[in-house]
Amino acid sequence: MVAEMTERPDPETDGTRIGRRVFLGVVAGGVSSLVWGDAALRAFAGAVKPISDALPDAVRTALPAPSTGWRIYAVNPPMPTFRPASWRLRVDGLVDRPTSLTLAQLKALPRTENVSDFHCVTGWSVPNVHWAGVRIKDLLAAAAPQAGARILTFTSAEVPYVDTLTMAQATLDDALLAYEMDGRPLTREHGAPVRVVMPKMYGYKGVKWLEQITVAARAQPGYWEQRGYDTNAWVGRSNGYG
Ligand SMILES: Nc1nc2c(c(=O)[nH]1)N[C@H]1C(S)=C(S)[C@@H](COP(=O)(O)O)O[C@H]1N2
Ligand SMILES: [Mo]
């Protein structure tokens, strides 16, 4: 048995953007249960129009945008909030030079871009996503992995979300730490300030709200691996699909 990935609303975002009472008022007409589903999103797009046309701008912009195709996942809401002054990306474990980088320091590493289709193992996809960020291998080279280094564990600020890559996977040219999506800084719901992007693997390998990379000899199973999903999540070649 495999636990099911479901989308969850973010109570904190909902509350702070438009005020919880307003939000609850807006969705009271039965819309709220539709917001996070798929067929539901299409129904939502049609059903909500007459309502949203009558809403003030602040409320309208806080409604989900069904056209993007993304579903926002967080296993343990509320989503982490990025605080530039205190945020660091730590690289530790079997490395000669453990590091702790500010976002500015991370951005000072060579920039790389990548356009790829995004696939969640549950069956939804987003075509042509433009990512910009740093190659994991460039960051790793700066930290100088030791001889026994085999596995990288990526830890999210959203406890307990973690996932792993082998050294060979993480050093592929398209394995990124992305700080921009579609030409803009990564938004909070997509994992600000930095998320892992593995274009040839299912989305669950892409840890959002990344804050630590630990190099080790052996793998601890990731969040979804503990729930039955494959460690090697190559699109089309791993379980949970179809
Ligand atoms: N921290 C964290 N990262 C995560 C997840 C999550 O719940 N928490 N979900 C994963 C899954 S299963 C997918 S498909 C993608 C979804 O990305 P999105 O929320 O930006 O659409 O994020 C991945 N990274
Ligand atoms: Mo997913």
Tell me, in angstroms, the distance from the centre of ligand 1 to residue 96's CA.
31
Q: Are the C-beta atoms of 103 and 134 separated by less than 8 Å?
A: no
* pLDDT at residue 10, rounded to an integer: 52
Question: Does the Cβ of 118 fall within 6 Å of ligand 1?
Answer: no
Q: What DSSP string describes 135-194?
A: EHHHHHHHH-B-TT--EEEEEESSTT-EEEEEHHHHTSTT-EEEEEETTEEPPGGGTTT-
Residue position matching structure tokens 């299409």: 42
pLDDT digits (tens, 9 = 90+) for 26-51: 333 333 333 333 443 333 333 333 34
Q: What is the distance between the alpha carbons of residues 219 and 222, in angstroms, rounded to a whole number?
A: 8
* For range 169-179, the mean pLDDT: 98
Question: Does the Cβ of 72 fall within 6 Å of ligand 1?
Answer: yes
Q: What is the distance between the alpha carbons of residues 223 and 221, in angstroms, rounded to a whole number?
A: 7
Question: Does the Cβ of 207 fall within 6 Å of ligand 1?
Answer: yes
* pLDDT at residue 51, rounded to an integer: 40
> Cis before residue 193, ω within 30 degrees of 0?
yes
How does residue 9 score in pLDDT terms, banded at 50, 70 and 90? Answer: low
Tell me, in angstroms, the distance from the centre of ligand 2 to residue 101's CA.
28
Residue nearest to atom 8 of ligand 1 (CA): 74
Q: What is the distance between the alpha carbons of residues 31 and 239, in angstroms, rounded to a whole number?
A: 33
Q: What is the distance between the alpha carbons of residues 215 and 212, in angstroms, rounded to a whole number?
A: 10
* pLDDT at residue 2, rounded to an integer: 62
Kindly give the number of the ligand 1 atom that is closest to the alpha carbon of 202. 14
How does residue 65 score in pLDDT terms, banded at 50, 70 and 90? Answer: low
Q: Are the C-beta atoms of 182 and 129 separated by less than 8 Å?
A: yes
* For range 84-91, the mean pLDDT: 97
Tell me, in angstroms, the distance from the centre of ligand 2 to residue 121's CA.
5
Which ligand approaches the C-alpha of residue 161 most closely? 1
Kindly give the number of the ligand 1 atom that is closest to the alpha carbon of 158. 1
Give the percent of the chain with pLDDT over 90: 69
Select the highest-mean-pLDDT range: 17-26, 52-61, 213-222.
213-222
The yes-or-no verdict on residue 60 having pLDDT over 90 is no
Question: Does the Cβ of 7 fall within 6 Å of ligand 1?
Answer: no
The yes-or-no verdict on residue 18 having pLDDT over 90 is no
Residue nearest to atom 2 of ligand 1 (CA): 208
Q: What is the distance between the alpha carbons of residues 21 and 23, in angstroms, rounded to a whole number?
A: 5
Residue position matching structure tokens 């356009």: 115
* For range 123-139, the mean pLDDT: 97
* pLDDT at residue 5, rounded to an integer: 78
Mean pLDDT computed over every residue of the chain: 82
Question: Does the Cβ of 5 fall within 6 Å of ligand 1?
Answer: yes
Tell me, in angstroms, the distance from the centre of ligand 2 to residue 122's CA.
6
For the whole model, what pTM was predicted? 0.79
Question: Does the Cβ of 176 fall within 6 Å of ligand 1?
Answer: no
* pLDDT at residue 135, rounded to an integer: 98
Q: What is the distance between the alpha carbons of residues 231 and 155, in angstroms, rounded to a whole number?
A: 15
Question: Does the Cβ of 223 fall within 6 Å of ligand 1?
Answer: no
Which ligand approaches the C-alpha of residue 188 most closely? 1
Domains of the chain and any CATH numbers: 89-227 (3.90.420.10)
Give the percent of the chain with pLDDT over 70: 73
Closest CA to 49 of 37, 34, 60, 35: 60
